[in-house]
Chains A and B, each alone.
Chain A
């Protein structure tokens, strides 16, 4: 992924298998969020493809969500003036198909679908523990609950892969632990999770595998032990010069971001 002359993410080949929790770490500006945006179609990768369950995804956010990849945002992007329940119902959008006619005519199918959506949304709210706040406006929730609600909204689209962008940013240790449990519970539902995070304890407790992104390139990938033992990771975080820094001499045309889940290698 390039922005003008700046290559933000380059040649990241990355696979998430089903039922896995994978961490993505890296110093600020390493391109983690850009990578997420490429995956979810918010950015169109300059080069490379994203595939899910063997099919290449078009770079359109709503089609990516429809295919089964849902995400949260680094800066909470809830629909602030909608209620908690409505937020989750919006997440159900791709899994329902009642159009304008159905809404205007209000046939039995419409009522049934609305009821089913609401039930499903309430299940999710109970799952994250916000069922009692269903009619509160999202903007009025405390910070930690807004984070949870964003996860519930993403889960409402029944994803196979959930992308969490710094889910514990700004949280206290208790809240972080609660989020950890939440992510495990999500994995137990059979949903693969890819999580960006700066909290190392959180990441290494949680993840089956961890990948390190530095200056747009994948530095190392492996289990917690492997990553923690890698000197280059420590060097990258502490700001020491990193010998494999991409040189400007090479024209930045090889940007590639490839991901696939369920073991389908690209």
Chain B
């Protein structure tokens, strides 16, 4: 994030110039880290309060519960990193750059979640009388690693501000990973996929205080892993084992409903998937072709309404018609395609801001038109504001999506059924996205985004190529819409607006793409998961969620304009990081440059 501000470490820098913010010898600082981490971990086995009124039941001796589990995890991570800083065999990979930032951030993670818990106990139960001795121990123990981490020696800097920055910054250069056997790489990917699934499953089940604690730990730990350079390592790993990584991601996605006992969470899962899939479709339009589309949700609406009309619902205009799902999905996608071309053909002649405004207008036209087609203000097609309710559940070869099914001892409820269907559609959309972006047409989209004039001068028919991007994006949204109609039982015009308090709407879709990372596959899904889960979980935020998102987006644009998961191109666009992207293999084995043309 701030890698450019850190001065490069030179071998000549004498140890005397290195000092910590807190004057302590190195041995003491490290010992504080390790002992503090262990003590924090141990303290979670003590009761932190006397009453089980506090969510998660923190009263049991020898058995951590609720927020204590998060403290336990944060403590263990602190211990792991502390051991790695001691150079313990087998943990060296945790600190490839041997920098202090991961230690500071993991220590902060434990500190923040522990103190959040401690303060919430006092706040919710009414005063510090509710603290047990274990609470005090935890509070003190979690503070120790922070002190230790801040006492770690750092290159001398001019100001305290720079010194603090250096403690949380990623180093300029991450040493290249050692060559590992393919099976180790695959094992690592498998373990990471399993871990990611566990974290996601835990987070989606967490409520209220627990979710906030979860967020604290996840944010600090991810930041620590990022500053250690482990995310770079991971993306390198997935790049070399691309198909395997995709397959593992797919397996993890399928495994998710089997980790859930409550169908409500599968409902969250399927909504996140729908939201994410539509965001990925938007990513073709915005991330690849660079067309700012502010009315994208209308295509989701077209798909949903089409599927509802042919679903056999008795409130549908065509109530006698019931398409099988594959036909409904194709019809929905085709209807969206037609609308995409109809809207795109006149608007794509505009560039930049003008395009954004016109697409915004067309998006609203869809909603208003659907609202009025109730037989009073217009033709009777969409049933107006009442929408089309009681859409029947899907049924494949006698497999009814509305019923629960038992698979290998796990109960798969209604939403889990749809979730699994949506995983298939997501896989299809990801395949389409990846194949389209890595082709002649994908290159021409990027060229158009980079410099439209130069692109047309290079022989690209700008309008045609942009129309293809627009139509493809619309089709994918329509496809997702057909499933969303069945999941939500009914379609109404209201969600398909530009901005609202809950996803999906055009503003949220765009935010998911920008937040997650434009031009990447995983970015929109991460963005969608965040934007869907946060308002869902943080009930206290409900009426201020838009304000919170506004602030979050501003902060993101200030500190990480390329999104949480940066596209290689975007990252270089926003940060003058020079030659970071140059593949190491080619620079070393180069032949001498041929300088004379035609020679």
Contact = CB atoms under 8 A, between A and B. Distances in A.
Q: Which of B447, B457, B570 has the most CB of A within 10 A?
A: B457
B11 interface: no
B456 interface: yes
Nearest to A117: B440
A78 B547 CA distance: 40
A74 to B, nearest CB: 12
Interface string A207-243: 0000000000000000000000000000000000000
A106 interface: yes
A104 B437 CA distance: 10
A42 B457 contact: yes
Contact of B459 (A81, A113, A157): A157
Contact of B458 (A65, A140, A181): A65
A79 B597 contact: no
Question: Which of B439, B586, B591 neighbours the largest number of chain A CB atoms within 10 Å of its CB?
Answer: B439
B462 interface: yes
B472 interface: yes
A188 B450 CA distance: 32
A92 B439 CA distance: 12
Given A93-B440, A103-B439, A81 B569 contact: yes
B435 interface: yes
A140 B579 contact: yes
B479 to A, nearest CB: 14
Contacts of A139: 572
A2 interface: no
A40 B457 contact: yes
A79 B454 contact: yes
A136 B598 contact: no
Given A82-B450, A103-B440, A106-B435, A129 B594 contact: yes
Contacts of A199: none
B376 interface: no
A120 interface: no
A65 B453 CA distance: 13
Interface in B442-473: 442-444, 446-447, 450-451, 453-462, 468, 472
Interface string A48-88: 00000000000011100110001101000111111000100
B593 interface: yes
Interface string A170-200: 0000000010011011001000000000000
Interface residues of B, number: 45
A135 to B, nearest CB: 5
A253 B230 CA distance: 66
Contacts of B551: none
Contacts of A100: 436, 441, 468, 472
B403 interface: no
A137 interface: yes
B458 A93 contact: yes
Interface in A128-144: 128-132, 134-137, 139-140
Interface in A107-128: 110, 113-114, 117, 126-128
A93 B578 contact: no
A18 interface: no
Contacts of A137: 569, 572, 581
B460 A62 contact: yes
Given A65-B457, A65-B459, A129 B597 contact: yes
A128 to B, nearest CB: 6
A135 B586 contact: yes
B447 A181 contact: no
Contacts of A157: 458-459
Contacts of A127: 597-598
Contact of A82 (B436, B468, B569, B579): B569
B583 A66 contact: no
A66 B593 contact: no
Given A81-B569, A100-B441, A136-B582, A129 B596 contact: yes
B594 A131 contact: yes
Interface string B559-599: 00000000001101100001101110010001101111111
Nearest to B567: A81
| Size class of the A contact interface (CB-based, 8 Å) | 35 or more
B582 A79 contact: no
A94 B441 CA distance: 11
B351 to A, nearest CB: 14
B432 interface: yes
Contacts of A113: 440
A153 interface: yes
Contact of B450 (A79, A99, A184): A79
A59 B432 CA distance: 34
Contacts of B459: 61-62, 65-66, 70, 91, 93-94, 157
A90 B458 contact: yes
A15 B252 CA distance: 65
B346 to A, nearest CB: 18
A61 B450 CA distance: 17
Nearest to A188: B598
Contacts of B570: 81
Given A62-B459, A77-B451, A96 B586 contact: no
A264 interface: no
A98 interface: yes
Nearest to A163: B457
B242 to A, nearest CB: 15
A30 interface: no
Contacts of A82: 443, 446-447, 450, 569
A128 B597 contact: yes
B583 A135 contact: yes
A61 B443 contact: no
Nearest to B598: A185
A60 B468 CA distance: 19
A103 B434 CA distance: 10
Contacts of A182: 597-598
A135 B582 contact: yes
A161 interface: no
Given A82-B447, A91-B459, A132-B590, A104 B582 contact: no
A89 interface: yes
B571 to A, nearest CB: 10
A110 B439 CA distance: 9
Contact of A126 (B442, B444, B582, B594): B594
A70 B472 CA distance: 30
B443 A90 contact: yes
A60 B461 CA distance: 9
Contacts of A96: 440
Interface string A244-256: 0000000000000
Interface in B333-384: none
Interface of B: 432, 435-436, 438-444, 446-447, 450-451, 453-462, 468, 472, 569-570, 572-573, 578-579, 581-583, 586, 590-591, 593-599
21 contacts: A40-B457, A42-B456, A42-B457, A62-B461, A65-B457, A79-B451, A81-B569, A81-B570, A90-B443, A90-B455, A91-B458, A93-B440, A98-B439, A99-B441, A103-B435, A103-B436, A117-B440, A132-B593, A135-B583, A135-B586, A140-B581
Given A65-B457, A103-B441, 17 more contacts: A40-B457, A61-B459, A62-B459, A70-B459, A78-B451, A81-B569, A90-B443, A90-B444, A91-B459, A100-B468, A103-B436, A103-B439, A126-B594, A134-B586, A136-B581, A137-B569, A185-B597
Q: Which 5 A-B pairs have the closest CB atoms?
A: A185-B598, A103-B439, A94-B459, A65-B459, A182-B597
